[in-house]
Chains A and B, each alone.
Chain A
Amino acid sequence: MEQRIPVTSSEDGAGEAGRRPVGLISFDIDGTLTTGHGPGPITREMVERAKEWGYIIGSCSDRPVGDQKNMWETWGIEVSFTVLKHMLDSVKSRFEADSYVHIGDTDVDYHFARVSGFDFLQVQTMDPEPWMLSPEDGQCHWGPEGRTR
């Protein structure tokens, strides 16, 4: 059995009491990320910022795992997981976190988020998360295709 990876993000290694809460974000690709077919509204910069802020990030898509890995390599972002959509539950069993969120654009995303114990954010209607906001102007700059799909 795969070992569960514990929370590692802490302010100073002071232990449970002093640690910062860690969130895990799973991204659908097509219709969610700007690299998808069709392109979604979440940009590379947003994803990179989520990682910088300490989120455990990765993708959960119907795209084959090899293609997901290629996509992240193209974006130059090292992620913690790449799984098929119906295997989202394996992410929860692998990573210990304080919150689990899947962001996607379809009711299939919603379904697998719910059955896997994730909160679901629908990319077309969600309020921008703090990590989505630009540090320059504090605004959320969705990808060029917007959120109309």
Chain B
Amino acid sequence: MTSSAGGFPRYAEGMGLWEHRGKVAVVGYGYSEIDRRWDGVSMDRTLGAFQLAAMQNAIEDAGLTAADIDGFMCSEAMAGDSWAQEDRGDPRPYFDPPYDSEDGLSLTSADWLIAGMAREGTPLSNLQYIDRNQLAIGQETGKAAQVVGDGQANVLLMTYNMGNVPGRYKLEEGDYSEGARKWSAPWGWMTSAMMQHAFVFMQYCTKYGGSHDDLAPFVLNQRRNGLLTPWGYYAQHEPYQITLEDYLTQRYICWPNGLLDSDRPVNHAFAMIFTTAERAKDMKQKPIYVLSHVQASHPTKSTMATLEDHEAFTDSLARRLYEGAGARPEDLDIFNPYDGFATFTQSYLEGFQWHGVKRGEAFDFYAGDIRVEGPHPFNSSGGNLGCGRTRTAMYTDSIEQLRGTAGARQVTVRAETAAMGQVTPGGNGHIFLSVHPQI
């Protein structure tokens, strides 16, 4: 079984319309319950159990059976921490199969998931294509669309999880920072991630004016949208709205990045089903067509990127996504860019020029009406900040907005197209969806 995709990744400028524009559709999605962490006891709430549930929910949403699935794609990356549990010096006790290793607990391999589906009586018995890549969901969705467009799978089940293991998140680098990471992450992952974005954000404030406090309306609205997302972490476990005072008094993690600017790691899983537009015509759900997908992988000139880099990266990302879809900024109705740290989301907002926002205008835009009921319902999903670090709320919301099933989050403006993606400006994947096969 192959796992390559000829037209993936789509990095280059000037590629024109995506060759499969409107010929691939999203016909189902599903998600699991959500916890802060696995409690170490409940075997029906492990990361693996959650992911099997998400996959089954997606199949049901699409009106399919497991036997209809001929393509499978997952990410086998370790959840929450790239440092193996054993390296902590405190290996967890394992359990009877299928939990006799980390597989199913802090990562899920394709083999584990496929075996799990069989174990649960929903075997993926007709798989012709299996892709066990290590991609984040931003890239993974694009690859899934490409695989179906290229004809390597007819009905592809794509799944993704974000897990959270005990201890502080991603701070452990192991005993040594190897290779280039000895320069970028000698004190752990946060040096390369949070500090990086704090630095670029400070450059942004210097260039355009404003300060960290100008992010408050955005972050508060993200929480509000998250509380309108019934399955989200905060709606489920901490159902209260944060206040402006909460925001302004928050603890800084890496100034000016604060606790409330940072997404909260959770245990959660998600799945989507892609098929051909032709097959989608007669299926249970209204087809949501894929008009384009693009990726980005930019090396930086030093240990950290600069504002100039991030603006160039996101300009390119937006230009290529619009070009592939045959769309313009004014054609984009729903926009759910990444918000793992609140300090970088404006780079997407301005790069995509959503609702006419140009470089340096994000703070003024945030200060306006960005509620879902209003004229500029930015990031209607609530994103990671509103739902927990699932990285998938952007996808569930976009699908629901286009289906008209977003409930209390349903926007009042036109909702016929959507773009969403992640992760950072330097390493990214975005996808463009529409209720129509072309603009």
Contacts and interface: CB of A to CB of B under 8 A. Distances in A.
Interface of A: 37-38, 62-67, 70, 84-87, 106-108, 145, 148-149
B39 A66 contact: no
A73 to B, nearest CB: 13
B95 interface: no
Given A62-B259, A84-B251, A85-B251, A67 B238 contact: yes
Contact of A37 (B238, B242, B252): B238
**What is the interface residue range for chain B against chain A?**
10 to 19
A6 B246 CA distance: 29
Contact of A66 (B166, B240, B252, B259): B240
Interface string B252-267: 1000000100000000
Contacts of B166: 149
B415 to A, nearest CB: 32
A67 B238 CA distance: 9
A66 B40 CA distance: 30
A66 B243 contact: yes
Contacts of B250: 84
Contacts of A37: 36, 237-238
B80 to A, nearest CB: 14
A145 B39 contact: yes
Given A62-B259, A64-B246, 8 more contacts: A62-B251, A66-B243, A66-B246, A86-B252, A87-B249, A107-B168, A108-B168, A149-B40
A149 B168 CA distance: 12
A148 B40 contact: yes
B39 A70 contact: no
B298 to A, nearest CB: 33
Given A64-B242, A64-B246, A38 B251 contact: no
B256 to A, nearest CB: 14
B37 interface: yes
14 contacts: A37-B36, A38-B37, A62-B259, A64-B240, A64-B242, A64-B243, A65-B246, A66-B240, A70-B240, A84-B249, A86-B252, A87-B249, A107-B168, A145-B39
